[in-house]
Amino acid sequence: MSGTKDKVVAITGASSGIGEATALLLAQRGAKVVLGARGSDRLKALANRIATMGGEAVYAITDVKLRGDLSNLVGLAIERYGKLDVLVNNAGVAPISLLDELRVEDWEEMINVNLRGVLYGIAAALPVFRRQGFGHFVNVISTAGIQITPTMAVYAATKNAVRTITEGLRQEAGDKLRVTGISPGFVSTNLADSMTDSEVRSQINDQMNKMAIPPAAIARAIAFAIEQPAEVDVNEIVIRPTAQV
């Protein structure tokens, strides 16, 4: 089966940015989207927007730091639609800073959301995919892990850990499951809002204002991977603004 029509796609971090854009695009193309994020108001508004445009969406409050929340999100897909075709592990935070600042709580937050959150998603969906005999993981990574820069050491480390897990999962997946890593560069999202260092946040926002591409560009890359025939596994996509070095 190819295309997105009638596929059931669960998305973490779905209430804004890349997650929101992906939900909207896939719903427009006929997918049934299962939305997970921490903010209930934004989730409800997005689900209503999708319904208004003729799409189908359900949602569950989801904190990816909590394994049970990922299990509930996957369970909602199964309960409502009887299957799960795709899990998009998208939720992420980036309270970046120089290591000298010793913002240990920020390091822990990135590890818990960016890394543990993906592992919890895999733990929730992998048994379902095995039982079904089909399934697709799409893990949103980052170009920050490809080109390491000051302030981004821990953030890049979490993303490179996800890159490693993604490749290991791909090799273990067998011939029925698909695994895709998507590495965006600067994207116009609210990711900088999670940055606790005001100077760094200002610098990142300035860079975003100069070159960031819209979240819809990443959504199209995710849709491309999902739409391929079942025997085609798009393993990795790196997508940056043309102006980004």
Cα→Cα distances 215→57, 125, 156, 193, 227, Å: 19, 25, 20, 16, 18
Question: Choosing from 59, 81, 120, 155, which is the catalytic residue?
Answer: 155
Q: How many helices (H) and strands (E) are present in the chain, helices listed first?
A: 8, 7
Contact status, residue 51 vs residue 27, Cβ threshold 8 Å: no
Contact status, residue 28 vs residue 50, Cβ threshold 8 Å: no
Q: What is the pLDDT of residue 1?
A: 44
> Whole-model pTM above 0.85?
yes
Q: Count CB atoms within 10 A of the CB of residue 30.
A: 14
Q: Active site includes 81?
A: no
Q: What is the pLDDT of residue 189?
A: 86
For the chain (245 residues), the mean pLDDT of every run of 10, in chain order, is 87 98 98 97 98 98 98 98 98 96 97 98 98 98 95 97 98 97 93 82 85 96 97 97 92
Contact status, residue 85 vs residue 26, Cβ threshold 8 Å: no
In the chain the domains, ranked by start, together with CATH numbers, are: 8-239 (3.40.50.720)
